[in-house]
Amino acid sequence: MPLKNFKVLNNINDYKDLHKLSKEEINTLASELREYIIEVTSKNGGHIGPSLGVVELTIALLMAFDPEIDRIVWDIGHQAYAYKILTGRKDEFPTLRQYKGISGFLKRSESKYDHFGAGHSSTSISAALGMRVGKDLLKKEGYTVAVIGDGAMTAGEAFEALNNAGWLDPSKFIVILNDNQMSISPNVGALYTYFNKIITNQVFQKPRQALKEILDKIFGKQGTKLARKLEEYIKGLFAPGVIFEELGFTYVGTIDGHNLFDLEKTLENVKQMRGPILIHVITQKGKGYKPAEENPTPFHGMSPFDKITGEPKKSSVNPSWSKVFGKALCELAEKDETIVAITPAMREGSGLLEFSQRFPDRFFDVGIAEQHAATFAGGLAVEGLKPVASFYSTFLQRAYDQVIHDIALQKLPVVFAIDRAGLVGADGPTHHGVFDISFLRAIPEIIISAPKDAQELRDLLYTALNSGKPFAIRYPRGEAVGDIKEGFKEIPIGSWEVLEEGKDIAFLAVGRYVQKALEVRRILKTKGIDITVVNARFIRPIDKELLKHILNTHQFIITGEDGSLNGGFGSAIAEFIMDNDYENRLIRFGIPDKFIEHGSVNLLEKDLGLLPEQIAENIYKKIFNKDFVFMKKA
């Protein structure tokens, strides 16, 4: 995709050229950056809304700071498209989120200007503080700036960092709170209410200064104890940002995040101030593109869309796994008032929108707070409710100790609906959900399951809610397979299902791999090989009786899973074979011991040799020591 004929953007090489531009040219640049972002994301998909919202902020930051010397740490990094374009990736930008193209987030290996990699939220203040302290200890020059959204600010880690920063009291340390009053969905929580009050109570900022002057006049410049107490009291009533001031930050705000020159001036001013500073910048998500301004939630992260109408280009045939889950939960919740749903800020993505509308009192969006979400679910379970906590696999990593210490150890019946399990595609290594099987499998008491199709997801959810146990159900991103029948049926915990009977070779497949295994069977049948296909719908506990039978009747065992091979389902089978003195040959398919880059799942799997035809070739070669090329040459 060639770069369009942009008047200003075409003529600047990177951020250093910003200082050569007139005010008018800078305004034109902001518009051209927006156009470029809309153009590329309409083709590739991506986080368009967050990125359009910070165009002016990005320009102002790159004018006030020099990322060769200063550190700019963007929280999550999903809003950093303008930053990418202005820090040397203008020409590569059309490859955004594509296989072998540039990442949708910031990445240390991609650019020296990406000072800290991210994708998960709320790490920026901690990382920037570490850099600040590092710079000070090593006597390095430069400022350290963290840019964090109002959504990301709801996470514990952000507050852990503020707490530490206020204590360490570093200078040249600036936190920019980019407040657009939106997480993916509208932001939630008491903090959101507080920010909202600050924004609407602007009127009190000037009187606050005037009041201070009056008090100084009445009680003298040194100030008496009473004066200070009175000021604190009144400050608490009216002053914006007092929460940050009490934590040791100087609060500056609010600043209009689309007024580029005010922003730049503010940034220049705070450079002279001592101690940690927090600048509260107000922006609008999707700024400058009507469909995104009007509909910020879908435009947070879009699949390819029509630039004129804003409509997504591809409409799916089947409902997504998330939708199937959400619909099943609503059906079950209709009949059982003790069912409650919890999400850490992923209402839409997790398929919980309908639940939130139909059962608002039983729905809890707790903000970007995975640890709290898990323990909160534990508390609900103690009181006899049936909590269903939905996590993206990758974000559940945040709540590992909570799953162990607060749920499994206490045998609390929390259902973990683990969405986006397996490779997720364009979001890449920060977001692939490939570790949950390995990390959950080590935890006693927890049941781990994966449905082969939509109906089985419903039945597993029903089984989980009736089990009285900690219970995880993992399913992938994208369209579900299979039809949905009426009602629900309980599945015996730990039971597998033989889908096809063959001989000699048995394919034990988890979740998405069941369809692959059936395809492998079809391919190998063309070579006269008949393989057994087992739906290993429980990863923990495994179906020991069926497994023993399979090991006794098949020489070769294949496992397939949408997760890491290290400690995964295949490892469980290897352990069983070894611990029980079987001598079967085992071949495992899954994610190898490395981080997987971004790109379509199909291309990533092709790279990893995980397409059905590649698996079939591989099995054939390993077992018969002969080549069998099934893949059509491109």
Ligand X SMILES: Cc1ncc(C[n+]2csc(CCOP(=O)(O)OP(=O)(O)O)c2C)c(N)n1
Annotated binding-site ranges: 78, 119-121, 150-152, 180, 289, 370
Q: At its nearest, how many Å lie between ligand X and the CB of residue 300?
A: 6
Q: Which is nearer to ligand X, 192 or 569 (CB)?
A: 192
Q: Identify the residue among 12, 55, 72, 76 touching ligand DXP (CB under 6 A).
A: 76
**Do 193 and 208 meet the contact criterion of CB atoms below 8 Å apart?**
no
**Do 170 and 276 meet the contact criterion of CB atoms below 8 Å apart?**
yes
Q: Does 77 bind Mg ion (CB under 5 A)?
A: no
Give me the catalytic one of 56, 157, 370, 456: 370
Q: At its nearest, how many Å lie between ligand X and the CB of residue 622?
A: 39
Peptide bond just before 200 cis, omega within 30 deg: no
Give the one entry of ligand DXP, Mg ion, ligand X, none that residue 32 binds, where binding means its C-beta sits below a cut-off of 5 to 8 angstroms depending on kind: none
Residue type (1 letter), 601 = V
Q: Which is nearer to ligand X, 126 or 183 (CB)?
A: 183
Q: At its nearest, how many Å lie between ligand X and the CB of residue 606?
A: 27
Q: Does 282 bind ligand DXP (CB under 6 A)?
A: no
In whole angstroms, give the CA distance from residue 66 to residue 16: 8
Give me the catalytic one of 89, 90, 132, 285: 285
Q: Which is nearer to ligand DXP, 84 or 537 (CB)?
A: 84
Phi-psi region of 563 (alpha: psi -120 to 50; beta: other; left: phi over 0): beta
Q: Which is nearer to ligand X, 413 or 429 (CB)?
A: 429
Q: At its nearest, how many Å lie between ligand X and the CB of residue 396?
A: 10
Distance of CA 412 to the CA centre of its chain: 26
In whole angstroms, give the CA distance from residue 237 to residue 58: 33
The residue nearest Mg ion at its CB is 149
Binding mask 103-142 for Mg ion (x = CB under 5 A): ----------------------------------------
Binding mask 338-357 for ligand DXP (x = CB under 6 A): -----------x--------
The residue nearest ligand DXP at its CB is 349
Q: At its nearest, how many Å lie between ligand X and the CB of residue 281?
A: 11
Distance of CA 248 to the CA centre of its chain: 30
Binding mask 32-71 for ligand DXP (x = CB under 6 A): ---------------x------------------------
**Residue 469, SS3 per DSSP:** coil
Give the one entry of ligand X, ligand DXP, Mg ion, none that residue 565 binds, where binding means its C-beta sits below a cut-off of 5 to 8 angstroms depending on kind: none
Burial class (CB in 10 A: 0-12, 13-18, 19+), 185: buried
Q: At its nearest, how many Å lie between ligand DXP and the CB of residue 120?
A: 7
Q: Identify the residue among 70, 114, 150, 436 touching Mg ion (CB under 5 A).
A: 150
DSSP for 479-524 reads B--S---SS-----TT--EEEE--SEEEEEE-TTHHHHHHHHHHHH
Q: Which is nearer to ligand DXP, 76 or 464 (CB)?
A: 76
Q: Identify the residue among 89, 477, 512, 516 touching ligand DXP (CB under 6 A).
A: 477
In whole angstroms, give the CA distance from residue 480 to residue 511: 11
Can you give the binding site for ligand X, defined by CB under 6 A?
Answer: 50, 76, 78-79, 120-121, 149-152, 180, 182-184, 285, 300, 345, 368, 370, 395, 398
Q: How many helices and strands, by DSSP H and E, does the chain display? A: 24, 17
Give the one entry of Mg ion, ligand DXP, ligand X, none that residue 591 binds, where binding means its C-beta sits below a cut-off of 5 to 8 angstroms depending on kind: none
**Tokens coding 4:** 């369009």
Q: Which is nearer to ligand X, 255 or 518 (CB)?
A: 255
In whole angstroms, give the CA distance from residue 388 to residue 416: 6
Give the one entry of ligand X, ligand DXP, Mg ion, none that residue 427 binds, where binding means its C-beta sits below a cut-off of 5 to 8 angstroms depending on kind: ligand DXP
Q: Which residues are annotated as a binding site for thiamine diphosphate?
A: 78, 119-121, 151-152, 180, 289, 370
In whole angstroms, give the CA distance from residue 597 to residue 443: 28
Helices (H), 169-302: 190-200, 205-219, 225-238, 242-246, 260-270, 290-294
Q: At its nearest, how many Å lie between ligand X and the CB of residue 183?
A: 4
**Residue 410, SS3 per DSSP:** coil
Peptide bond just before 254 cis, omega within 30 deg: yes
Give the one entry of ligand DXP, ligand X, Mg ion, none that residue 477 binds, where binding means its C-beta sits below a cut-off of 5 to 8 angstroms depending on kind: ligand DXP
398 included as an active-site residue? yes
Q: Which is nearer to ligand X, 152 or 591 (CB)?
A: 152
Q: Which is nearer to ligand X, 406 or 543 (CB)?
A: 406
Which residues inside 293-312 make contact with ligand DXP, applying CB under 6 A?
Answer: 300-301
- Between vectors from CA 374 to CA 347 and to CA 572, what angle results, nearest 5°? 105
**Where are any strands of DSSP class E within 235-338?**
250-256, 277-282
Q: At its nearest, how many Å lie between Mg ion and the CB of residue 399?
A: 22
Q: Does 182 bind Mg ion (CB under 5 A)?
A: yes
Give me the catalytic one of 84, 97, 398, 516: 398
**Tokens coding 623:** 């077992």
**Do 211 and 202 meet the contact criterion of CB atoms below 8 Å apart?**
no
**Where are any strands of DSSP class E within 283-370?**
339-343, 363-365
Maximum CA extent, the chain:
98
Binding mask 395-424 for ligand DXP (x = CB under 6 A): -------------------------x---x
Q: Which residues are annotated as a binding site for Mg(2+)?
A: 150, 180
**Tokens coding 600:** 């379509």
Q: At its nearest, how many Å lie between ligand X and the CB of residue 588?
A: 30
Burial class (CB in 10 A: 0-12, 13-18, 19+), 200: exposed
- Between vectors from CA 77 to CA 71 and to CA 78, what angle results, nearest 5°? 155
Q: Which is nearer to ligand DXP, 285 or 420 (CB)?
A: 420
Q: What are phi and psi of 354, to 5 degrees?
A: -60, -40
Q: At its nearest, how many Å lie between Mg ion and the CB of residue 300?
A: 9
CA distances from 574 to 501, 542, 571, 584 (A): 22, 12, 5, 10
Which residues inside 78-97 make contact with ligand DXP, applying CB under 6 A?
Answer: 78
**Do 366 and 342 meet the contact criterion of CB atoms below 8 Å apart?**
yes
Helix pair angle (55-64, 23-44), 10° resolution: 130
Site residues, Mg ion (CB under 5 A)? 149-151, 180, 182
Residues with a catalytic annotation lie at 285, 370, 398
Q: What is the binding site for ligand DXP (CB under 6 A)?
A: 47, 76, 78, 184, 300-301, 349, 420, 424, 427, 477
